[in-house]
Amino acid sequence: MRIAVMGAGAVGCYYGGMLSRAGHQVILIGRAQHVEAIHQHGLFMDTTRFRAHVPVRASTEVSDIRGASLILCCVKSNDTENAAAVMAPFVEPNAILLSLQNGVDNAGRLHAKLQHIVHPAVVYVAAEMMGPGHLKHHGRGELVVGPSAMSPEMLEGFVSAGVPVHVSDNVFGELWAKLILNCAYNAISAITKLPYGLLFENEDARDLMRLVVHECLAVAQRESITVPGDSWQEVERIAATMAGQFSSTAQDLMRGRRSEIDHLNGYIVRRGKSSAIDTPANQALYSLVKLLESAITADHPGPT
Amino acid sequence: MRIAVMGAGAVGCYYGGMLSRAGHQVILIGRAQHVEAIHQHGLFMDTTRFRAHVPVRASTEVSDIRGASLILCCVKSNDTENAAAVMAPFVEPNAILLSLQNGVDNAGRLHAKLQHIVHPAVVYVAAEMMGPGHLKHHGRGELVVGPSAMSPEMLEGFVSAGVPVHVSDNVFGELWAKLILNCAYNAISAITKLPYGLLFENEDARDLMRLVVHECLAVAQRESITVPGDSWQEVERIAATMAGQFSSTAQDLMRGRRSEIDHLNGYIVRRGKSSAIDTPANQALYSLVKLLESAITADHPGPT
């Protein structure tokens, strides 16, 4: 498979690196600092199962996605439209596009700009970039996709590369299930600078997370979305399987970057408003993260 | 007037200092560091109207409240029962007791322990301790009391000392009005480390504060409390009159101390639960401050 990964952050590097390590032709499209480091030493993958410098192609030029039969879109949800616009001229007509992003509407947003089918994939991986070309993997690494997202060969390619792929006939519900976990954990971890395990141990945090989950499920129900599984059990499971993890929102704020909160608790607030469901707990978390972001931006003015 | 001030924090030092400066016999009961500094140099008052070292008696011994005809209780709401217990043997039978504390139930809690009438006073002052015996006053300084709290002479004593006192026949409603302001500002200022003016400028913060105020008013209404004035206009007014102020909750967290949050948003949450009113925005703020407190305590273990 010729695979292009748009966005060389933690998610892009993890999946791109795993596929490259298994012998697939992968190119990572990312920022100069990561690309240069990867050119020099390969991608350094420090995972729960191995530590290795993995050779992989990397480029700052989006035009290098040309010729890819599979494109994994791994940019932040804030950058979805921009990514679609710059990718558009170089996407092969029969390329398969997967969105490996947080939030529930990225595949649709990519489709609207690209006029190309985009399949959503639900990502469960705990990983972060420790420096240029240096990926730290804390746990998990599976994907959930719809029945039409991957051919049997492609599915086999992922699985043999160490990337479990679950096929679900309710991938939209699965995206919501992940969104609910993100809504429960991301903002609270960012605001308190605490990892998932410590949050879940705390009764006050659990009270708040319960409210958040309850509001999310009310919005989902109003929108006729069937959220698979028991969301609260999944919240519990995250505390056990990713105890040491700080949310991506926490990582963004610590690094002075804009977070995806508009696509997490902010999304619930907007959908709640449009369907007349009150979401005050989500609103509280959303407002606080936005406030913290604005304080960061005021401290460190930069190129938007 | 012989006046004892229980608790030499910012509120106790401000009112005790103003009364002492006007020639009243005042004794401040506080911790050793403040008492020692005040013994050496007087109380340094850096106010919006004057800067001066104000001579005032100070003691670490609660027994020194003996003989006071007026006692101002200025301890944190978490310390109310303790303060009542240690004061009890030394309160003169006809002494007048005022509670100058945040929260709405301190006078009642003092009364329950002391078996002595305690009048609530609503405190509007922006002040903080900058160091031992060093008070910084940022603005305002008035009190609101009920009609029976002060004799005309006592009232005159306060006013001539530069402490405006408003008499209200709805002092319990006035306590709630202040509680609502505390619920709107204190936790958000503590969580974001931002002052009132910057919070109110921010649309996301205003959205959240509106939710908080709305929930508080719903609880007040269910409890048949008439909250005077327009709470939202008061929120606006605080932003204008105390723009640079960080909440006492913010000050507590910055200094690694337990805050009064149990008596602010936490009180609303408890009252809401007992009267079946949902208070998720208050719950969110309460949970987050408790989490931040627990993280502080974990970092700096100390004598509770």
**ipTM rounded to 2 decimals:** 0.83
CA–CA dist A195, A249 (Å, integer) = 11
The confidence band for A1, taking pLDDT boundaries of 50, 70 and 90, is: confident
Q: Which of A192, A204, A291 is closest, CB to CB, to B202?
A: A291
Q: What is the pLDDT of residue B241?
A: 86
Residue of B nearest to A204 (CA): B287
Q: What mean pLDDT is predicted for residues A99-111?
A: 97
pLDDT beneath 50, residues of chain B: 300-304
What is the C-alpha to C-alpha distance for residues B38 and A14, in angstroms, rounded to an integer?
Answer: 62
**Average pLDDT over every residue of A96-123:** 97
CB-CB neighbors (< 8 A) of B285 in chain A: 284
Residue B297, pLDDT score: 67
Q: What is the pLDDT of residue A296?
A: 78
Per-residue model confidence (pLDDT) at position B303: 35
For residue A297, name the pLDDT band (cuts at 50, 70, 90): low
Q: What is the pLDDT of residue A135?
A: 98
pLDDT band at A241, cuts 50/70/90? Answer: confident
Give the ranges where chain B is alpha helix by DSSP (H).
10-21, 32-41, 80-87, 106-114, 152-160, 171-192, 196-201, 203-222, 231-241, 248-254, 265-274, 280-299
- The nearest alpha carbon in chain B to A266 belongs to B204
The Cα–Cα gap between A102 and A193 comes to 20
Round the average pLDDT of chain A to a whole number and report it. 95
pLDDT at A157 over 70: yes
Q: Does B215 contact A at CB distance below 8 Å?
A: yes
Chain B residue nearest residue A294, CA to CA = B202
pLDDT of A242 reads: 87
Considering only the beta carbons, identify the residue of A194, A202, A208 that sits closest to B284.
A208
pLDDT of residue B276: 96
Residues of A in contact with B292 (CB under 8 A): 192
Q: Is the CA virtual torsion A260, A264, A267, A273 positive or negative? A: negative
Nearest to A207 among B199, B283, B294 (CB): B283
pLDDT at B295: 84
Determine the Cα–Cα distance for residues B48 and A182; give it in Å rounded to an integer: 47
